[in-house]
Amino acid sequence: MTMDVNAYRTAAKVWLNDHAPKFAGAARRGLAPAADLALGRAWQALKLEAGYGAITFPKIYGGADGSVIEKLVFAEEEVRYDVPRYFSVSLGMPIPMLLRYGSEADKDRLVSRALRGDDIWCQLFSEPAAGSDLAALRLLAVRDGEGWQLRGQKLWTSWAQHASWGIILARTDSTVPKHRGLTLFFVDMRSPGIDVRTVRSISGHSAINEVFFNDVHVPDAQRLGPVGDGFRLAIETLMIERYAVSDVSGFGPGLADFIAFAKRQGGGAALLDAAVRQAIADTYIADAGLGSIHERALEAIAQGQEPGPEGSIRKLLIGRKRQRLSALAMDIMGPAGVYYDPADQTTESFQASWLEAPGVRIAGGTDEILRNTIAERILGLPQDVRSDKDIPFNALPG
Amino acid sequence: MSLFSDEHILVRDQARRFLAEQWCAKKHRALLEAPGSGDAALWHAATALEWSAAAVPPAFGGAGPDWGTVAVLAEEIGRGTATGPFLVSWTAGLVIARFGTDAQKSRWLPRLADGSLKVAFAFAEADAPFDAPNTRLHNGRLTGHKLAVPFGGEADLALVTADTGRGAGIALVPLDAAKRTAAPSIDNSRGAVTLRFDDAPAEPLGTEALWSMLETAWVLTAFEQIGGARACLMAARDYALERRTFGQPIGRYQAIKHKLADVYTAIEIAHGNALVALTEIATTGRAPLAAAAARYAATQAYDLAARENIQVHGGIGCTWESDCHIHYRRARALALELGSIHWARERVVEALCSEKTQ
C-alpha cells in the first residue's frame, strides 16, 4: 500500500472522527423515518462538499474524480459508524449505469442531484417470481408510440419509498428465451400509475418495498442500452459493486461486542462454556481470514490488477456469522434474551441483529446461489440443469 | 509488507514439478507399511535444490530467512504429501538463529543450511502440558520420554521441550544417545518414533524459544495443511467432473457443488489466517494469537477437505488403492502432532478474552 493511500486514510479518519458522530449512533436513536432520511441527506451533502460523497464520480457532476482504492478506503473507515446509508444503492449501481449508458442531457439533469442526495435512486430488478432467477421476471414493457408502458410488479426494492428515480429491468419480448427478451430503462418514480407499498421486514423496520406499475409511461429516451440487452446490463450493474466494502460483522454486533457482553454475563461464567469459546474462535478466524483477503484485494486494485476470486466467500460467511453470534448471545441471556425494543439498532442489539440476520443471507445473492457461483466460476463445476434455457418465455409452463 | 514476490511463483512451480517427479503414491503406500522409516532419497534431492538453506541466514551458509519460500515449499509439501523433516528443519533454523548462542549458531546452522543435519521436534508427553514438561534438563543432561516424534527415526538432533530449572524451555539433544522405538501410527509416512532419554548430553536453547518454536511450527504447518487441503479439493473437483450418475456428472448436483464450495471457503479462510500469522511471526518471532488462529483454521480446513474428498469419491475413496486415504491420514496426523485443535482454540480465545498472553 502506497504512502498516498495511507495519507488518504488518515485524513478520512480525522474527518470522520470530526463529523460522523453527529450522524450516527445516539444522533439517530428514536428518530422518525422522515427525520432520519433528512439526516441522511445532510450527511451525503456534507460528504460531497468534503470530497467523500462521490469519490469516483466525475468532477463535472460534483464528484471527486478519485480512485476506486480511495473509495474503498473511505468506505472501510465510514463503516465503523452506523451513519444512514440511503444512497448506497443510488450511487452504487443506478447512477454508474446512467453515466455509462444515459444521454448527455439526462446526465446533466440528473447525476449531480443524485450525488448531492437531493434524489434517491432505486433499483427495480427482483420480482415475486424472480429473485435468484432474475431472468424469469414478468414485468412487461409494451411499445406505446414513441415510448413504452410498464405493467407488472417489483419486489424487495430498497428505498423505493424515498426514491425519485429508479432503473428497471422489464420484459420487452416474450417470444424469445427468458434471458434474451429483457431491456433496461430508467423511470421517474413520481409517474402516474406507480404504487409503492412498504414491506415490513421481520424486525418491523421498513426499508424494502413492493412496487406496482399500472401502465406507467416511459419515454424511449429513458432506455439504457439496446432493446433485448437488459439481462447483460443487469449483470453488469450487479458487478459494479463487486468489491464494495461491507462490515465484516454484517452490520450486527461484532466479535469484540460479543466478547465484552459474554464477560459481563454470570461474572464471566459464559466465557467458560465450550460452545461459546468455539463460536468466538470460529468468528475470529472468519474475520481475520476475510480481513486478509480484503487487504490483498485492495493491494491488487491499487496496482491495477483484478483481485483474486476468494473475495466471493465474504458474503457467504457474514450472514451466518451474525446469525450464530446473535442467537448465542440471546441463549446466554436465557429467558431475558426475549426482550426486544424495535427502536434498537442492529449494530447494538443482539435481538435486532438476530431478527434481521436471515435477510443478510438472502438479499444480494442467497447462500445457495453464492455456493453455486463458487463451484461454477472458481472450481469449474458445471451449471445446474436449466430446463427453461432455450425455450421461448411465453412457451414456458406455469 | 508482503513476504511474497514473483520469484516465489517460480519456486512454487519448480517445487511442484520436483515433487511430482520424486514422490509418488506408490512410494507413499510402501512407507505406510513401514512404521518409523523415512525417505532419504527425497531429502537428498531436495537438499540439492537448496530447500534446506531457505531459513538460515547467509552468515551461516543459508539463503534466508526467506519466509515466502518456506511458506510456498511447505504448501507444496502438503499438496504432494511428501515426507521428511523439512518444516521442522526450517523451524529449527529460524528459532536457533533468533535464540541460540553464537556457539550454537556456528555449530548447528551451517549443517541445517546444507541439509547434512536432520532435526525433529519432541514435545509431547503422556501427562504433561506443553509448558510444564516432565522431561528435565540438569547440568547438561536430559532425562525424559517423548511420544510419537515425527521423523525422530531419521533425525540427528532433537529440539526437546524440557524443564530447564528456570522454567520450561527448549533443549538441543543429539539423538545418538536416545533410545528410539518406531511408533506405528495412523500415518506411518511421518516416520514417528518414541524417544527415551536417560542422562543424554544436551544444551539449553533457552526458555524464550519455547513458544516461538511452537508458534513457528504451527504457522509453517498451516501452509502444509492448506496445500494438502487444496490437493483434496482439486482431486474431488476432478472426480466430480468425471464420475457420472443418473445421466450427468455428479459435479452438477448441488449436493456436491455446495459441499466443495464450503471446502473452498474453509481453505481460503485458513489461507488468510496463515498469511497474517506468517507476516507477524516473520516480524517479531512471535504470534500468540495469529499462529493459534492459523492452526485452528488450517486444521479444520484440511480435515474437512480430506474427509469430504473421500465422500465425493464414494466407495472407491475408501480403498487402499485410492489416494484419498493418504490425505485423510495426513490431515489427522498434522492435526495431532503439534497438539490438538482444542489447544489452538483455547489459545485463540485466551488471547482474545484476557489481557495476559504467554
DSSP type of residue B197 = E
Mean pLDDT of B184-196: 96
Residue contact B254–A372, C-beta within 8 A: yes
* High-pLDDT (> 70) share of chain B, %: 99
- Which runs of E-coded beta strand occur in chain B? 119-122, 136-138, 141-149, 157-163, 168-174, 179-182, 193-201, 203-206, 244-245, 248-249
**pLDDT confidence of residue B24:** 83
Greater confidence (A4 vs A8) lies with A8
The interface predicted TM-score (ipTM) is: 0.95
How near does any CA of chain B get to the CA of A317, in Å?
9
Q: Is B350 an interface residue toward A (CB < 8 Å)?
A: no
**pLDDT confidence of residue A364:** 86
Interface probe for B, chosen from A296, A368, A381 (most Cβ of B below 10 Å), is: A381
Q: How many residues does chain A have?
A: 398
Q: Would you state the cell numbers that stand for residue A40, as one nine-digit string?
A: 441522511
Q: Would you state the cell numbers that stand for residue A144, as one nine-digit string?
A: 406505446
Q: Of A46, A317, A323, nearest to B261 (Cα)?
A: A317
First to last CA, chain A: 54
pLDDT grade for B354, boundaries at 50, 70 and 90:
confident
How many residue pairs from chains A and B have C-beta atoms closer than 8 A? 115
Q: Is A285 an interface residue toward B (CB < 8 Å)?
A: yes
d(CA B132, CA B101): 24
A29-46 pLDDT per residue, tens? 888 889 999 999 999 999
| Sign of the dihedral through C-alpha B80, B84, B87, B90 | negative
Interface probe for A, chosen from B1, B219, B233, B268 (most Cβ of A below 10 Å), is: B268
Nearest residue of A to residue B274, measured between CA atoms: A289
Q: Is B296 an interface residue toward A (CB < 8 Å)?
A: yes
Residue with cell string 507413499: B28
Residue contact B254–A371, C-beta within 8 A: yes
Greater confidence (B85 vs A241) lies with B85
B327-339 pLDDT per residue, tens? 999 999 999 999 9
How near does any CA of chain B get to the CA of A382, in Å?
5
Instruction: Answer whether residue B231 shows pLDDT above 60.
Output: yes
Instruction: Answer whether residue B291 shows pLDDT above 70.
Output: yes
Residues of chain B contacting A281 with CB distance shorter than 8 Å: 293, 296, 345, 348-349
Q: Is A11 an interface residue toward B (CB < 8 Å)?
A: no
Q: Which residues pair with B145 in a beta bridge?
A: B196
Instruction: Answer whether residue B1 shows pLDDT above 60.
Output: no
Interface probe for B, chosen from A248, A285, A371 (most Cβ of B below 10 Å), is: A285
Interface probe for A, chosen from B5, B6, B257 (most Cβ of A below 10 Å), is: B257
Residue contact B257–A317, C-beta within 8 A: no
What predicted TM-score, i.e. pTM, was given to this entire model? 0.95
**pLDDT confidence of residue B357:** 41
Which candidate from B252, B254, B293 shows the least CB-CB separation from A285? B293
Q: Is B226 an interface residue toward A (CB < 8 Å)?
A: no
Instruction: Answer whether residue B358 shows pLDDT above 60.
Output: no
Instruction: Answer whether residue A280 shows pLDDT above 90.
Output: yes
Which residue pairs, CB below 8 angstroms and at least 24 apart, start in A202-205?
A202/A355, A202/A356, A202/A358, A202/A359, A203/A342, A203/A346, A203/A352, A203/A355, A203/A356, A204/A342, A205/A342, A205/A356
Greater confidence (B27 vs B144) lies with B144
Q: Is B9 an interface residue toward A (CB < 8 Å)?
A: no
Q: Of A242, A241, A236, nearest to A182 (Cα)?
A: A236
**What's the distance, CA B192 to chain centroid?**
13
